[in-house]
Every structure is written in structure tokens, then in C-alpha cells.
Amino acid sequence: MADRKGALLFVNFHKSHASDLAEEITNELTRLGIGAVFFPPNGGFAELPLEDCSVAFSLGGDGTVLYAARTIAARGIPIFPINAGTLGFIAAVHPDAWLRVFQQWLQGEVTISRRLMFEITIERRGETIVRASCLNDAVISASGIAKIIALRVLDTQTPLGNYRSDGLIVATPTGSTAYSVAAGGPILDPEIEAVIINPICPFTLSNRPIVVPAQETIIVEVNKEQRSGVLLTLDGQVTKQLEPEDRVFICQAPYKAQLIASDRRVFYNALRTKLNWSGDFSGTGASNA
């Protein structure tokens, strides 16, 4: 662990036993001489000594990790993702194992997975009106029910096509196992450098998900004739209303989300267990089917 001796705690108190676990963690951190502070759900950093923080605990499900990443990834603070939820593709540390894994990390024995994040910019009539970030995905969809929207998509300045669909998902490799895979998109290794562009229920069946290099900027333009409302949703948690002719720029962030003990091995184990992959993974090559 770095010389800094502070820890942030992002806690989803709606999760069972999250309060007890948070108390257990703060007590142990105090014993180790590490100060701990809870991140206020609607507050800012004004009273938080971030310059003294070298780790952030995420107590909840994957959604809590996403919130923490958007909040602190740009500051280079690694996230210790304890799974108090259910699915846990990102939140990989079991509550019963947190202290053992944390002690291993303090000793430099645990890997850090560095995940691609997006920086999002909304441009309206030539002016930037929103800047934001996300770890999983940026989704552009109709704000009403069963409304088809028209979008033009460019890769840097190369037109990729005009989409008429229920929406469009632009996902990171981390987000490939979220909304994108439910919409028929591919699963990517979480540490690969690539971006998924995946239309949601496209009007033309020939429209298929594509994967492009991460260094490209994806530009999505809302058709000027668009009549129904359009929303941009980041990580399924943050929404922004879009207008006709708005341009959404999605590019690779200059920083990564750093996840402690949530590496590729953990990811593939989650795929096998959460998605019920079958077959023999013992290395013998024999099938147990």
C-alpha cells in the first residue's frame, strides 16, 4: 500500500449485511492505523482528504463499483470490490475473504486489473453541455415506450452507418457482460483495448454489433427529424436528455479504473459460474458432460 493511509468506503446500505461489514472493515482499518471515511451519496469531496486516500472499498454489487469508478478513477485510487450483491462480474471479493485478500494486497501479493473507461461529451449547437465518464457503457435510447430512434454513427470521422433501432449501446470490455450481452453483443476479455457498438433491436436485421479499436472516438448524432425523446444513460445510473442534432462523443479516458483482486482469472471464473458454462476446466481435456 502507498504511503497514504486513508480509505474511502462506498457502501450500498440496501444490501444485506452491508452495515455490519462496513463496521467490521472500519474497525480493522482503525487497528491498522488507516483512517476511513464514508463517501456521502449526494455529497462532494469538499471535506474528504482524498490526498490521503490510497484505496476505496466498494461494498455492494457491481453497481456500487460502477459508481465508485466514475467518482474516483480519475484520481488514481484503486477500488477494492467486495461483493455484497448477487451477480458480481466486477465485485469479485467475497465478504468472508475480504481481510485475507486485503492483507495480501498490503503486502503486494494481489494483482490490480486496469479497466478501460469512457469519457463522454455532449455537444449541442456547437457548445459542450455535459462531460462525464463511465466504466460499463453509454446507451442512447428512446425515452418513451416502443419508440424507434434514428442515429448516425461515426468512428472518428469515418461514417459507420445510420441506425434505426430502439437504441444503441457503446460498451467497454467490462460492460460487455452487462446490457450489451443481453442485446446480443460479444463478450470481451475485460482488459482488452476495444469498444463494442451494439444496436438494440435494429429495424434492419443486417445491423450487427461491431468491435472497434479503443483509440477511436465514437460520435453519435441524433437525427434532426427525431420527434420522440432520446436519453443518454451511463452505466445504467446516470441519465441525460438529448435533443435533435445533439452529438455524443465517446472516447477512451486517459485513466483506467483500477480494481483490486478482480483480474482476468476472476472474470472467467464468473463467466463459468454465472452463465453456467459447461465442460471440463481442470486442464485434463476430458469432458464431464
Residue 53 lies in a domain: yes
The domain in which residue 58 lies consists of 6-111+261-274
Cα separations in angstroms, 228 against 125, 225, 243: 19, 9, 9
CA 265 to CA 274: how far, in whole Å? Answer: 14
Do both 146 and 72 map to the same domain? no
H/E element, 68: helix 62-72
User: At 39, which CATH number?
Assistant: 3.40.50.10330
Q: How many domains does the chain have?
A: 2
Name the β-bridge partners of 242: 230
CA 266 to CA 282: how far, in whole Å? Answer: 16
Is 115:256 a contact under the CB 8 Å cutoff? Answer: yes
Do both 156 and 45 map to the same domain? no
Residue 189 lies in a domain: yes
Catalytic residue among 3, 20, 52, 62: 62
Do both 82 and 147 map to the same domain? no
Do both 168 and 233 map to the same domain? yes
pTM higher than the cut 0.75:
yes
Residue 154 lies in a domain: yes
Do both 173 and 237 map to the same domain? yes
Cα separations in angstroms, 120 against 5, 101, 137, 179: 32, 34, 10, 18
Give the angle subtended at the CA of 62 by the CAs of 252 and 71, to the nearest 5°: 50
Per-residue model confidence as pLDDT tens for the chain (289 residues): 545 578 999 999 888 889 999 999 999 999 998 888 887 644 444 444 566 788 999 999 999 999 999 999 999 999 999 998 776 789 889 999 999 999 999 999 998 999 999 999 999 999 999 999 999 999 999 887 768 899 999 988 788 989 999 999 999 999 999 999 999 999 999 999 999 999 999 988 778 999 999 999 999 999 998 888 899 999 999 999 999 999 999 999 999 999 998 878 888 888 888 777 765 555 544 433 3
Residue 155 lies in a domain: yes
Residue 289 lies in a domain: no
Do both 77 and 122 map to the same domain? no
Do both 47 and 126 map to the same domain? no
Q: Is 189 a catalytic residue?
A: no
CA 285 to CA 6: how far, in whole Å? Answer: 47
Nearby residues of 235 by Cβ (< 8 Å), 6 or more positions away: 63, 66, 67, 70, 134, 135, 136, 137, 175
Pairing of strands 79-83, 53-60: parallel
Do both 150 and 239 map to the same domain? yes
Residue 282 lies in a domain: no
Pairing of strands 53-60, 210-213: unpaired
